[in-house]
Amino acid sequence: MKRLRYLLPLILIMVLGGFMMVGLTLDPRRVPSPLVDQPAPRFQLPALEDPERLVGSSDFDGEVVLLNIWASWCVSCRQEHQVLVAMANRGVPIYGLNYKDERSDGLNYLRSMSNPYVWNAHDLEGRVGIDWGVYGTPETFIIDRQGRIRYKHIGPLSWQDAQNKILPMVEQLRRESL
């Protein structure tokens, strides 16, 4: 009985150590989204560029598109911005959701960085972002022609991400949906 008393803490430490070792091998940027393969949440918000104009998810019905959640205060958004510009120049329709950002700051950001977006919805309160399961900025979703979320990328897109994952998936979805 006395041996068990000494072995139990050792066994417990070994089990906890095993869990920690497995945890160290996981990619912290890979957060599963319950929205993948589900219909994209519907929304309608004022456009960043023109608050009198309402834009929303119905604007990209029937298209394969990217929805990029960004903010002017987001350092990582600046890091991925040229990748978005390059993808837009390749004909990928990118819609923006300006998340928890002052309108003037978002507009200044687009003026200084260029605007790869078809339009930008202004989500000052972050309510639409919550519906989309946004953890932070930037996040990018691929939405198919049927309005289903097919992929979610958390964090800044690199050119490697665009070439290896985003652009091939967009092309595949365009072919599938014809």
CA distance 114 to 116: 7
| Chain centre distance of CA 108 | 22
Least-confidence region, from 1-15, 90-104, 115-129: 1-15
Helix (H) or strand (E) holding 56: strand 54-56
- 56-73: per-residue pLDDT in tens? 999 999 999 999 999 999
Q: Which stretch of 54-58, 86-90, 131-135 has the lowest confidence by average pLDDT?
A: 131-135
Contact 41, 128 (CB under 8 A): yes
pLDDT at 20 over 80: no
pLDDT at 16: 77
**Domains observed in the chain:** 37-176 (3.40.30.10)
Mean pLDDT of 148-169: 96
